[in-house]
Structure 1
Amino acid sequence: MKRILLIGSVLYCSSLLAQPIKLSGTLASAAGKSLELSNLNEQKWTVQADSSGKFSQSFSDIEKGYYSLSGVGAVYLAPGFDLNITKEKDKILFRGKGNIENNLIVTLNNNIRQLSEEVKEGKMNMVSFPDFQKKMENWKQQQYLLISKTKIKDPAFAAHRRGDIDYAARNIVRDYTYVYGVDMKKRDNFFALMQKMAGNFDRAKLDSARNEMEVKKLTRAERDAIDSINHLGTSMNDEALFKASAIYRRWMDQEIGALIYKPKYRDDFNKGAKSEAIQSKVVGNEISNAFIREYWQYDIASIALKMSEDLAEADSIYAAYSAIARNNNYSSIVNGIYAKIKKFTKGAPAPDFNFRTVSGEKISLASLRGNIVYIDVWATWCGPCKAEIPHLKKVEANYHGKPISFVSISVDELKDTDKWIAYVTDNNLKGVQLMADNAFNSTFIQEFNIAAIPRFIMIDKEGKIISANAMRPSNKKLSEELDKYLAL
């Protein structure tokens, strides 16, 4: 009898494991597109939507856990879930089996976003820290109550949502320290002044503008006390929460960024080490959990490679990562980035593009052959990009009539085409103004591993790469570089 019961239990458990996961729904933004479902291990699945944005797909190879679905965000999946996903009044809504867990994630994320935006916008910038701390504690208790009232069967899931709130609160407190006592209008003026001065800072004017915007200031002792309180009970080695919470990962990302400025890493800065190299050192020293440590090493190496200025630097980054790499998925992605860097290094033929102008005609890189081509990759939403525009205009004017094509490629989303056209027109932008055909996912942008802007590229008269990461217009040495290649 025991044998029969045991066999029955095994068969029952096996049937549960074999239960597929189904995702269906309608998202207007997904019309005719492939949605990507992925996890932290960089495993990816494709969900195809039809011309109306409707999709329906079952998966038998997905384990219980947390995923990201493009156009939706965080999704919690488990065998047997049958989720229907729609967007109503700008809010993602889940129906079907598994909806309770996923709708809770959406609600909590919206609550976190709302409070975070209020703080960043300066709506609590004159509130004393003790009063702010009380507000935060009340807010946390409200979120914990919401979690406890939701009918969640999995206690680990509920614990992870409480972790979301705990670390979201820490992120928000950190943001509070950045805006405390700041006159937000004068802060906007300060940032506008910084953009205007890009590359040619007037320290006295900046200090004066900063002092004007800082109506109140936290003392160093107050900042240290807040920082100490905000770190009570934290850990950088909670693997379960790391896999379950993007908010915890965001906190850790900021924590790594803050640690590089601590005294124990100051010598690295003084020796001229790049921030990515110091971050990698921080991860190696401060994180003991193997999964978390390798994830951040992969993340940092990917970014550092894309930001590398030459092949020698890329070689060094790649060698350092390869020496510690264990995850095949991560290694495959890093290998791909490195391969593109080697393929499109100095002297290699540049990949072509064929992008639209403001008037709608198409221009290719090949059509500019015979000229040196100086490319500015930018976007209308990018402050540092716009700060370079006055300098770019000066360079363009200085080389007017010479065989140089100044090409600006916007990576704005296609839905923002009218916004791009208006910006180009209103600001009387010169040169060849183009819009990439798929924002950051455009082939030309991907081939050059562009993940951050502004980015400048220089191509010679024969269409070969001079530099995949060229000097900015605000760099006074750019003219020397242009003159050198004009003389060839």
Structure 2
Amino acid sequence: MEERTDFPQYVMMDLAFRFGFIVQEGTDEQVARYIQLGRRAEQQAATPQLAGLIREYMDRYEAELNDRKTYAGIRGRVTRERMNEVNLYKVEDGKECLIATSKVSRDGWYGFAFQPERKGFYTVGGKENLDRIRLYIKPGDQGEVNFPEDTIVITARNTPENLLLARWETMMIPVRERVDNLKYALFDYRDFFPYFMDFLPQAREFQEKLTFRDETFARLVKQTIDFDLDYYAFRILNALKAGKDTFKPSRPTPADYPAYYETIISRDKLTDASVLEQPYGYDYLQRYTTFALAKEGEKDNLSNRLKWLSDDLLKAEIVLWYAERCRTYENYQKILGEYGSFLTTENHRERMNAVSARLYQGKKGEMAADFTYPDRNGKLVSLSDFRGKVVLVDVWATWCGPCRAEIPHLVKLEKEMEGKDVVFIGVSIDQKKDHRKWLEVLEQEGLSGVQLFAGVSPQIMKDYKFTTIPRFMVFDREGKVVTTKSPRPSSPELKKLLEKLLNSGL
């Protein structure tokens, strides 16, 4: 039977207006088929106006279909008391990071529509660990997770990956409960160890028999099982006091550990960064290295912890963990100097910069917070490059009137101090789009010295804790702070300060 091509005009109009419902409710295959039908209707339209109208609708529906393939959706019912919202988290560097919060509607529904940055693990649920569940999400996935009282239900309206993952998550619930409920005095290690050892054969049988059409995902789940077992075995060892004058669970001693703990560590175990794909990966690293050092009787320090990790990304996380616990800027600088080579990503640098900004006080006599920016030729230049010289730093911008007003005085001061052991560094905070304008101003104003381009809201402003410009700062030959708010070049006091430093030998 031949397919009809002479579509009546009213049929084509009807197609255009009805496809909106199909796009919203149909499968991808159904939507694609109806769009194809609409394109044929467009070709057979009786008038150019009708063809244009149909084309407009088909273009819109095609775009929506493409969006559907990049978006993921999670929805479900909540019937728990006191659960008024549901959170969605992504996993980043082994930690859960909040993406969005959905308020539960009056009739008990919540929902999320988002574009996953990458396929991998996400978690959805409440604020407590036991109230959240792990999902594997990729672009285009749709899923349903319900939250009845005292449990979490992944319904049949889910991807095959999450239906498989749900089987393991369900098996793990009693294990998680025995650890997460420690603070309520419901369990301790004397309950956990026997249950855990009885559970292990079931877990290993599930792991060995696990099959899936996507072998990569199957390997991920098998690896997840190993990490989960280790993680909860570690957590039971570090039960903490729940609160003031409340129950404190008994802690086991090594003599209490079952046989599983004899095989839980190995120097060649963590050879890649896959544990950071887990929502607890960052915590896992800390617990793993803590247990390893204690078991082997090694001193607890950063160097020894790193020896238990083979992958540089994992080492970076431990370095960051130590840095984030620093109480002084000097200790932070020591860690950065010895182990900074492991910090290779933009995320690493941002986290270290946050530590620097928190710890650095910029007090007189304190070591300067270093900075590195490109000069007018694109070469990276650091403040620390000029150790051994007195340094005047000018933070400015081409759009800043008071900054520009100081330039003639600055140029005059540079000429007066030419040949002396002092360096003038200009740091521009102009926008990237104004880079050419910055170069032109340097030429017009005759600004010599070291001229650096930092861009908007640079780290130098966060470290030295200022928000307005111009800002002039002076550092001595040892790279220590003299002042982070010096007199301006228009004041004779600045020249006196620089000369005093030069004459004092500092």
TM-score normalised according to structure 2 size: 0.43
Q: Who wins on radius of gyration, i.e. which is larger?
A: 2
